[in-house]
Amino acid sequence: MTDIGEEPVAQPVSGNGDPQTPGPNAASVTEAVPPRCPTRTRLYRAGHVLAEGFPAEELSRRLDADPEAVAWLDLYDPTPDDLQIVVNEFGLHPLAVEDAMSQRQRAKVDRYRSHLFANMYAVAVRDGHGALVVGEISMFVTERALITVRKQDFDIDALIARWDLNTDLVSTENQVSLLVYGLLDAVVDGHYEAVEQLDDAIDELQTHLFTDETGSDLRRQAYDLGANIASLRRIVAPMQEVVNRLLRTDAHLVDAILTPYYHDVHDHALRAAETLDAARDRVDRIADTQLNEQSAELNEITKRLAAWAAIIAVPTAVTGFYGQNVPYPGFGHHDGFLVSCVVMIVLAGGLFFYLRRRNWL
């Protein structure tokens, strides 16, 4: 693999105006201080694990002792002092270090003279109810090392197992690239799994759409799902560009062996984004369908109330007519009362059956 980032990029300048170009052996100038945060380490050669779990301050010495070896260092929730060891040993750019320490950075890839910096988000759905658990991951990719910085928890053991399954793809030149591929593949697969779980939650929501359980609970669930989908889309959509940037030739990262595998990760990221867009449309349709269903129910209730009001109006009109203080046919006679009752029953009954046939009752 060629040197990462051969194109000249602006470097920090010392007080006398000379550019500072710290190399991977800069730890010889500044004594390495062990990080206090939890760390994971591994040393690889040709896909085989030479050592793991060794102190992070031994990273540079082990790489110097074996020119064909590459290393992985993982730092969990480090402080600036914890990260200083890799800054000294690998000459990391201060802007990249600042991004690695900052929270809620956007998903991106930046290229510097001696390394690449990438930021992304791993995600999972908690309890299958649509609640998202998000973990931010930053990585520094140098010619001989992959340094990951995790700001939240992430299933690192699953990532290691994925690396161990891909040892047949290793060549002398692509060892670091293979580690990067394993990380990208794990993150994107997590995205797609989260999208599928949200899609299943939408299926479950649709089964209750036309049942007696519809109401405020269903509207609340649909709103929560829509909010989670919007949050997940902000995580999933940028991953296509992240993989694209790493695939570019100026990144000097991917060789002919791993190019199809990186393209496969890109396809998974694209499919996750497309599935998420379809899920968002489904949630919108559920909300619209429930609103239309409620409108239809309201119209039905209004029809029934109007029908009963019309029926009640008939005896009201008849009794009002016969209640006038003027003589009328049957006034003062028992027959007049019977006639008025018959008129009310016939008119109200006829109106009832007419409205019943028109499905108003």
Q: Decide if pLDDT at 28 tops 50.
A: no
- The reply to whether the predicted model has a pTM over 0.75 is no
Tell me the C-alpha distance between 54 and 56, whole Å. 6
In contact, 180 and 141? CB cutoff 8 Å: yes
**Average pLDDT of the segment spanning 313-320:** 79
Coil, helix or strand for 146? strand
pLDDT tens digit sequence for 142-193? 989 999 999 887 888 888 888 888 777 777 577 899 899 999 999 999 999 8
Q: Decide if pLDDT at 6 tops 60.
A: no
Higher-confidence residue of 321 and 67: namely 67
pLDDT tens digit sequence for 89-148? 888 888 998 999 888 888 999 999 889 999 999 988 776 556 788 889 999 999 899 999
Tell me the C-alpha distance between 319 and 46, whole Å. 102
Using CA atoms of 315, 320, 321, 326 in order, give the dihedral in degrees to the nearest 10: 150
**pLDDT score of 140:** 94
Q: Decide if pLDDT at 83 tops 50.
A: yes
DSSP string covering 188-249, please?
Answer: HHHHHHHHHHHHHHHHHHHHTTTSTT-SHHHHHHHHHHHHHHHHHHHHHTTHHHHHHHHHSG
Tell me the C-alpha distance between 239 and 245, whole Å. 10
**pLDDT score of 212:** 57
Higher-confidence residue of 217 and 17: namely 217
Show Cβ contacts of residue 256 under 8 Å, excluding neighbours closer than 6 positions. none
Query: What are the residue ranges of helices labelled H in the chain?
Result: 59-65, 80-90, 94-101, 156-165, 175-207, 216-236, 239-247, 259-322, 334-357
* The residue type at 343: V
Higher-confidence residue of 280 and 10: namely 280
Query: What is the percent of the chain where pLDDT is above 70?
Result: 84
Q: What is the set of domains in the chain, with CATH numbers?
A: 26-293 (3.30.460.20), 303-357 (no CATH)
Coil, helix or strand for 150? strand
**Average pLDDT of the segment spanning 31-43:** 81
